[in-house]
Amino acid sequence: MTSYVVRRLLYAVLTFIGITIAVFALVHAVPGDPITFYIGAHGAHNLSQPTLEAIRHEYHLDEPLVTQYLYWLRGVLRLDFGTSVVDHRYVTTRILEKLPNSVELNLIAFLVAAAIGVPIGLWSATRSGRPIERASAVLFFLLYSLPSFWVALLLMELFSVKLGLLPTFGMTSDEYLDLSAGQKLIDHARHLVLPVITLSYAQIAIFARFSKSALTEVIRQDYITTARAKGVAPRGVLWRHAFRNALIPLITLLGLTIPTLLSVGVITEQIFQWDGIGRLYFVSILTRDYPTVLGLTVVTAVVTLFASLLADILYAMADPRVRFEETAP
């Protein structure tokens, strides 16, 4: 097991380095630089050329791209992502301010998707071949195919504009500070509804489809046939044998769902004006704030790689055949 974990850690480190190189190159390939953008946005066109050169030198923008990357990587190894070009605050501080909001939104969306998708998938697996099962398969496919930005705008139009049931955007209402503790909780929960639906609807389809396929595959195994031949009740076969073994492949969804939520969260948080790292990412890209973009890339890459590593380890613990296959010559 130790060698399996070490090998997975090595893969994660190499993947992380590759991600940082790719994103660093792509960010710097965009026309213009953050200093030019900042000056244009604030109308500071009267700065002298020596002053501009000094600012670019401060952020190493006058160095070759490889040198810039090495400067930045050295700071990352010391957990120093530099300062934002936009407001000159530490990137770490800006990220830590927004991170709890994104964690709250993504965690709730993940729990909602799992709580709804897994039972639906298991239920549909027990009705394989029936019209209702085929209809649910079509529904899952449609949910997964719908673009998140379109769903977000549709939800805003229906529940906020036409019905007036839920707030359009933001994390709280304007009068939030004047509300009681209970009213604040309700107000914040109402603002959570539409972003959570936008983040979770596709994941519900994934959880449902994946759990259905896993249970269907387990039901076809020989030991399930043997249990039935021994006279075990159908419910006992389903819950004591099939269900527990069908949950093992679902562990891999941990490593797949978190990156998806993070990527979809960038657009979702911007549309609903949710003050999290997704919105910060979006704004930082538009303003060419290289240090913040790269700092957020490191955070999301680490979270994604950690989730994938955790899923691999849990899967190996649940199914010893995986680590035996990895260590076999």
Is residue 199 a part of any domain in this protein?
yes
Among residues 63, 99, 76, which one has the least CA distance to residue 21? 76
Residue 116: CB atoms within 10 Å: 17
At residue 40 the predicted structure's pLDDT band, cuts being 50, 70 and 90, is low
Annotate 29-74 with DSSP letters as a single string. Answer: HSSS-HHHHHHHHHT-TT--HHHHHHHHHHTTTTS-HHHHHHHHHH
d(CA 38, CA 71): 22
Give me the mean pLDDT over the 141-154 stretch. Answer: 87
Asked if residue 304 and residue 257 are part of one domain, the reply reads no
Is residue 96 a part of any domain in this protein?
no
- What percent of the chain stands above pLDDT 70? 82
Asked if residue 244 and residue 294 are part of one domain, the reply reads no
Residue 151 has pLDDT above 70, yes or no: yes
Is residue 326 a part of any domain in this protein?
yes
Number of domains comprising the chain: 2
- The residue whose two tokens read 């990527």 is 263
Asked if residue 170 and residue 70 are part of one domain, the reply reads no
Asked if residue 121 and residue 174 are part of one domain, the reply reads yes
Mean pLDDT, all residues of the chain: 80
Is the separation of the CB atoms in 109 and 196 below 8 Å? yes
- Maximum CA extent, the chain: 88
Quick one: pLDDT at residue 189?
92
Residue 217 has pLDDT above 70, yes or no: yes
Is the separation of the CB atoms in 313 and 106 below 8 Å? no
Asked if residue 278 and residue 169 are part of one domain, the reply reads yes
At residue 318 the predicted structure's pLDDT band, cuts being 50, 70 and 90, is low
How do residues 164-199 score in pLDDT, each as one tens digit?
A: 889 888 888 888 888 888 889 999 999 999 999 999
Domain of 301, in residue numbers: 1-86+287-329
Is the separation of the CB atoms in 42 and 87 below 8 Å? no
Asked if residue 315 and residue 235 are part of one domain, the reply reads no
Give me the mean pLDDT over the 89-94 stretch. Answer: 89
CATH number of 243's domain: 1.10.3720.10
Asked if residue 277 and residue 293 are part of one domain, the reply reads no
Quick one: pLDDT at residue 186?
92
Asked if residue 277 and residue 141 are part of one domain, the reply reads yes
Asked if residue 258 and residue 142 are part of one domain, the reply reads yes
Query: Can you give the pTM of this predicted structure?
Result: 0.79
